[in-house]
Amino acid sequence: MPDREEAGQKALEFAENLWKRGDFWEFESSEYERTRFARTIEMLRGRRYARGLELGCGAGDFTRLLAPLVDRLVAYDIAPSAIARAKAAPGGASIDYRTGNAMDYEWRREEPWDLIVMNDTICYLGWLYSFFDIAWLASELHEAIRPGGHFLMANTMDKAGYDKLLLPHITRSYRDLVLNVGFTLEREETCRGTKNGVEFETLISLFARG
């Protein structure tokens, strides 16, 4: 397992190399991706947040769906190419896009947040960082959200096991870790679909800080 500095550099190189290719994950073209984004947003319908933070925003495809529900939205991604695409896309003028590593974010500087979102992000952090570091991140997320605020986490699961980062039992372990640091599970749904001939499920969990 690399140390935090090495893990951060590897995360940057991995994400930047993929985003330089364009829409590698097919967020813009996949029916499955559009469906799961819509289902994730539905978890927040009827709510309004003053301050929101998205970690791992990519090119902002989900971020732009989230923005109408948040008065001030900050969106982070480690890849400069992803943030450049996000800023250039229509509808992003009201979003504060920033380049940075979620593991190095200065949580205490801008807290408390009313909503924090991680959409298919923790699986990559869990690949590159130690379990202790991910547990630390979960506890920091809890402390950075005001009492009564929410943490929304969505994670794709590869039922066939082609992508080992998306194994269902690993995804559920991240979910349980979030519960163990003090969040309560307010609502949870599973979105199922097929992408490029592979069956996926997305576990969508809305947590509340008491």
Mean pLDDT of residues grouped by 10 in the chain (210 residues)?
A: 79 88 86 95 95 96 96 96 94 89 78 94 93 94 96 93 90 96 97 91 96
Q: What is the pLDDT of residue 33?
A: 94
pLDDT of residue 99: 95
Cα–Cα distance measured from residue 169 to residue 175, given in angstroms and rounded to the nearest whole number? 10
pLDDT given for residue 107 in this prediction? 63
Q: Which domains does the chain have, with CATH numbers?
A: 4-208 (3.40.50.150)
pLDDT number for residue 150: 98
Hey, which bits of 164-210 come out as E strands?
184-195, 198-208
What DSSP string runs through 87-142? Answer: HHSTT-TTEEEEE--GGG--HHHHPPEEEEEEES-HHHHHHHS-HHHHHHHHHHHH
- 8-state DSSP, 67: G
Full-model pTM: 0.94
Partnered with residue 184 across adjacent β-strands are 208
Task: Look at residue 2 in the predicted model and tell me its pLDDT.
Answer: 57
Structure tokens, 173? 């372990």
Q: CA 64: distance to chain centroid?
A: 14
